[in-house]
Amino acid sequence: MAKATTAPLQSGALPEERQQRILDRLRGDGRVVAAELAQLFEVSEDSIRRDLRELAAQGLCKRVYGGALLPAATLTPLKQRRMEHSARKQALARKAVSLVQTGQTLLIDAGTTNAAIAAALPRDAGLTVITNAPHIAQLLLDREGFEVLLIGGRVDPAIGGTIGAQAVEQVRRVRADLCFPGACAIDAAHGLWGFDGEEALFKRAMIEASDETVVVATDDKLEAVALHQVAELSRVQHLVVEHSADRATRSAFAARGVAVHRAEAGQ
């Protein structure tokens, strides 16, 4: 999605004019961050929050922590996500797999980036993989050399994995060395976020059941916003980012004690 460009408004501009410019930016970027808008329009964050409340009341945006999304800014269908950015996801997967050690037990969430991670795992490392994603379980069974445990429960077709009370209860009864929760958004100030409430609960249970957490995020997930907090950043030990992730963003996560791993370029 191309980035929208928004010329600064004078601080005395009418709220209606400012709200229209905010809406233009939302339609271009898919999301807005209140702090950035306050700086751009030279007004207080309280003014921006009032603007977002009024836009939300008209059904023109969906308010989330720190900003707003377009009403349709929910999880892209799984079939569509499988076709998007495959080379980038494979580069991230190669870097993520470098953190895995022989004989470990891994918890791997649903998602296309996590499917790329599963496909990149070495088959001779004595790994046990616990997953809520039938697609990932089948991928590993086809490759052989893995002990695979499939978490049961209600399968959400958009997510591509099981969520809900049954899935959460089963995760709470296992223990893993590393977990790979899917990332809808992650920011250095507030941690990991998800779009769906039930899915966020499942991801949280994964993190609680694991010794260490590895979040693998494409550039669009960094410093983004979503509706449901999964975990504080203190619960994330490793962040795998694309080679193109900017230095300031990487440094912000590193300053909070997260080990940042950068994928190789041009892959």
Q: Which CATH architecture has domain 78-262?
A: 3-Layer(aba) Sandwich (3.40)
User: Does the domain spanning 15-69 belong to CATH 1.10.10.10?
Assistant: yes
Query: Is 52 buried (19+), middle (13-18) or exposed (0-12) by CB count in 10 A?
Result: buried
- pTM (2 decimals)? 0.74
Q: Which helix (H) or strand (E) holds 18?
A: helix 15-29
How does pLDDT run across 101-157, given as a tens digit for each residue?
Answer: 999 999 999 999 999 999 999 999 999 999 999 999 999 999 989 999 999 999 988
Give the integer Cα–Cα distance in Å for 59 and 99.
44
**In this structure, how many other beta carbons lie within 10 angstroms of the beta carbon of residue 17?**
12
Find tokens 């499988």 and name the residue: 82
Asked whether the beta carbons of 190 and 229 are under 8 A apart, the reply is yes
Q: Tell me the C-alpha to C-alpha distance, in Å, between residue 247 and each of 102, 242, 250.
A: 32, 11, 5
Q: What is the pLDDT of residues 143-196, one digit of tens each?
A: 989 999 999 999 988 889 999 999 999 999 999 999 999 998 898 988 999 888
The residue extents of the domains of the chain are 15-69, 78-262
The residues, ordered by sequence, that sit 6+ positions from 199 with a Cβ below 8 Å of its Cβ are 156, 159, 163, 228
